[in-house]
Structure 1
Amino acid sequence: MTVPAAPTSTAIALPNSTALTGKMLDDLTKVLGVARSTLPSDQQIAHAWTNLPRLLEKIPHQHRNETVVRMCVAVSAGLFDSAINYAWNAAVVELREKVRRFGLAVIHHVTGSTFDEAALLDLKDAELLSLCLKLNLISEDGFFFLDQCRDTRNNFSAAHPSMGNLDEDEFLVFLSRCSRHALTAEHNPRGVDLHAFLAAIKASGFTKEQLQTWIQRLQQTFEAQRDALFGTLHGIYCDPASGEQTRLNALNVFEPFKASLSPKAQSDLVDRHQEYKAKGDNQRSKASSQFFENLGLLSLLGETELHAIFTNASQNLLAVHNEMNNFYNEPPFARRLSEIMVGSAVPASAQYAVVEAIVTCAVGNPYGVSNAAVPWYEKMIRSFSPNEVAIMLNFGSLPNTIINQRMKSYSACRNRFAKLVTLINPGSVPTLSQTQYNFWVAESKK
């Protein structure tokens, strides 16, 4: 069976009604004893009628309904104040349809209260325009021009006592704006069904197609709901009852948005994290830190929090290094510290502890180093800031440090330190540390 093609926009040829309506208006005003000049002239009506088809062709076929027909009849009689009322009614009807297609059940994220069909119909035109802007159903330009149309309709149409008269050019501009910003903008994003979203996140692992679908839905929804869903993803990740796969789903959906979070979304996430800490909810607080860490958002947590995260990671690495089987146990701790450093710069207050842990482990002990962890140590040393470079180079001469003691006692440790120094970017070496740097580079070549 052949599926009929969707109707396409075709050239519109309106019937020639000027001669008919012109005589009718002459006779009508004469009978009622009203001056013909109280209505638009035949030339004005002809101008509007001639230009009307071009604007009608821009209106999709499905919107050329009874209201549009009535508008055309009003134009043919020169009743431009009535014509703009019909045009506005058509625009409002379509804007309401856009809201319905978006999904009434999810709009409470914007309104803050239950939103249903009755609430939609109760909206004033100004409120409807504001809602459509928040839902991304109209652009900021569209809101600006449609709001002007609303003001024009309220003050110069037949819907209310008029403040003055509209001419044919003003009507044509009015219709053009309604057509362009309300009737022809077919893009209609949909809100995210919260129940379906939660069910999907908590189900099995996402396929590539599923993940892309949910990411697109978050991209298309309005900012207020998207920000709320970011908080939901954070809460799911921090919930002790969430399984590992659920946490991964939450992270994977959040990942594409981490670089474009709105200030409000950032603030809300930090507030949630601090609330866990204030309540003494250690499980959720620890999971929250991991959430920020995995997404490279640790910088949002502030200097004090970052200091604790970096120093704890450094202490854990050193503790493992000083225990039995350290060569086998160091890699995951080295990797974690490296990942934290990728997500955020080390606070000045934590730099000594971080550099000490990295260099101590990388220099190793008389028996060698953890080969599997070496790539992580080298990566971190290459990323050292100038101040961190200075701290590292000072360890070569500072007494009473494990690094210095090992270098004095074991040539293998001294040689490894010299090789590590060559990993430093020369451009990162502070002027005051240049002599130390040159010394160890020379040592590495012996």
Structure 2
Amino acid sequence: MSNVLVKPKTDLPAVTLPDVTPLSSPMLAQLTAALGVPRNVLAEDDQIAHAWSQLPRLIKKIPPHLRDERIVKMCVAVASGLFDAAINYVWNAAVVELRDKVRRFGINVVPQILDDKSFDEDTLLDLKDAELLDLCRKLNLIGDDDFFFLDQCRATRNSFSIAHPAAGTVDEDEFLSFLSRCQKHALSSAHNPKGVDTKSLLAALKATKFKKDQRQEWERRIQETFEAQRELIFVMLHGIYCDPASGEEARLNAIAICESFSNDLSPRTRSALVDRHQDYKAKGDEARQKASLQFFETLGQLSLLSEAEVHSIFTSASRKLLSVHNGWDNFHNEPPFADRLLKLSRKNRVPETAQATFVEVVVTAATGNSYGVSNAASPSYNEMVKSFSPNEVKLMLDLPKASTLVASRINSNRGCEKRFRSLIALVDAKTVPTASKSLYLKWVPKP
């Protein structure tokens, strides 16, 4: 999920500035005359008037709490025709706000993002303007467009303001453009994401199983941070879940948080998770690889893995169900295995290579034996049959004429035949492939 920007309020009261022309124009003329310098060393009266007329519209867009003494000094500089000084005041206001954005993000969290344990308030104050802009972009406090325009403003301020010996002069239009960019890209009411303290998150994960409100609070914090940190957090949670040394409470907390974001994982996050899974395979770490497969299965993200791995998961789950079905006290033992296969098929597409095994096992267990069927597991079987794809329906209709256990039961036991016929009736006629219509009608005659 990307960060949501809050549009600046458009109902802020208008800003009305006093008319300074009657005061500034004669004052500037008298001052330059007294010093014996040409009047044109300062901005002309019409330039000042034009800039002054545009200030109220631009200042109105700056949130009131950011209109501090620097904005006042900027106005005084404009009234005096000192656009180079006005630029410096605006830039200083922008820098102060960018530093505050970092503070609101969380100075204690920044070292975790940058992997720089020495970062603190003093480090923030010592950053050069270019370094501050780069930090804000890394923390997603400003976007790429913001960085581009603010970096241009930084270059303008360094070359054409009173901060350094100027390389040239700026006119009223260039100043107004500078003010507009700083207002839009730094002095705005855009949403300020807060970083997640991963050390606190890690401690909470290991402490005890999350209560609902505790889990929701961490989910809210993760939701409100920026995408790059969310990616790091999800990879960390995946690692905790897959680590054999992790306590069960930590693993359950980790997977619970990830499940709530399963449908909103960014492409970069999905890629990072798959990379970690492939690392486990490459290192031959079977324990972590197995846990990782369970992680992807629970999140309904098996499609990210190789077809062979997904095939193995479905066929393994199917064979476990069949083994239980053929075992002692099967009617009592089947439900959890049937439920697991149902959840697996709900969240993930059954690979074509695994469909034959999947269909045969589901239909065999749902048809039951001469003693009946597991009533507690039947709802799971019925739901899976209703969700069969056209190819799975074809495989189901072909079962009675195959050399299989379920075929033997259907052809030799009246109860099994009746239950099989009921299963066929659950299939939507529109799902039946054309080539299988005759078999379908054999079991479900036209009304």
Asked whether 1:279 is paired with 2:283, we answer: yes
Q: Specify the alignment match of 1:202 in structure 2.
A: 206
- The alignment partner of 2:195 has SS state of coil
Offset at 1:124? 4.1
For structure 1, which segment, 406-415 or 223-232, has the greater mean C-alpha deviation from structure 2 after superposition? 406-415
* CA offsets 1:82-118 (integer angstroms, 9 cap, x no match): 2112101110111012112212232245435443345
Mapping of 1:36-115 within 5 angstroms?
36-108=39-111, 110-114=113-117, 115=119
After superposition, the C-alpha distances for 1:272-322 in whole angstroms (9 at most, x for unaligned) are 223333334333222222221111111111201101101111111111111
Shift of residue 28 of structure 1? Answer: 3.8
Conservation of the 8 A alpha-carbon contact between 1:110 and 1:225: yes
Unaligned stretches of 5+ in structure 2?
Answer: 1-11
- Deviation (angstroms), 1:71: 1.8
Which has the larger displacement, 29-38 or 9-18? 9-18
State the one-letter code of the partner of 2:81.
G
Structure 2 equivalent of residue 252 of structure 1: 256
Q: Distance in 1 between matches of 2:348 and 2:237?
A: 22
Q: Is the 8 Å Cα contact of residues 156 and 165 (structure 1) preserved in structure 2?
A: yes
**Structure with more contact order per residue of length (Cα contacts < 8 Å, sep ≥ 6):** 2
Deviation at residue 67 of structure 1 after TM alignment: 2.7
TM-superposed CA distance for 1:21, in Å, is: 3.0
Cα-to-partner distance string for 1:317-346 (whole Å, 9 max, x where unaligned): 111111111111111111111111111111
Find 2:268's aligned residue among 251, 264, 267: 264
- Kept in 2: contact 1:92–1:125 (CA 8 A): yes
Structure 2 letter corresponding to 1:88: W
Aligned CA RMSD, in angstroms, stands at 2.6
Query: Which residue of structure 2 aligns with residue 5 of structure 1?
Result: none
1:183 to partner: Cα distance:
2.5
- Rounded to whole Å, the distance in 1 between the matches of 2:132 and 2:335 is 58
Give ranges in structure 1 of 5+ residues lacking alignment: 1-8
Query: Which of 244, 252, 262 matches 1:240?
Result: 244
Confirm whether residue 153 of structure 1 aligns to residue 128 of structure 2: no
Choose which of 368, 371, 382 in structure 2 pairs with 1:367.
371
Q: CA deviation at 1:151?
A: 4.1
Q: Tell whether the 8 Å contact from 1:109 to 1:225 is kept in structure 2 after alignment.
A: no
* Displacement after TM superposition at 1:425 (Å): 1.7
Q: Which residue does the alignment assign to 1:343?
A: 347
**Which of 423, 428, 435 is matched with 1:420 structurally?**
423
Paired letter, 2:420: F
Q: Which range is displaced more, 333-342 or 259-268?
A: 259-268
Structure 1: how far apart are the matches of 2:410 and 2:13? 86
Q: Does 1:390 find its partner at 2:394?
A: yes
Report the count of equivalent residues: 436
Larger CA deviation: 171-180 vs 410-419? 171-180
State how far apart, in whole Å, the 2-side matches of 1:143 and 1:356 are: 59
- Please give the TM-score of this superposition, normalised by the length of structure 2: 0.89
Please tell me whether the aligned partners of residues 109 and 224 of structure 1 are also in contact (alpha carbons under 8 angstroms).
Answer: no
Partner of 2:316: 312
Alpha-carbon spacing, 1:384–1:13, altered in 2? closer, same or farther (3 Å): closer
Does the 8 Å CA contact 2:97/2:186 hold for their aligned counterparts? yes
Identical amino acids, percent of aligned pairs:
58
Q: 155-164 or 373-382: which moved more?
A: 155-164
**Residues of 2 paired with 1:12 and 1:340: CA distance?**
61
Q: Which amino acid aligns with 2:46?
A: Q
TM-score (norm 1): 0.89
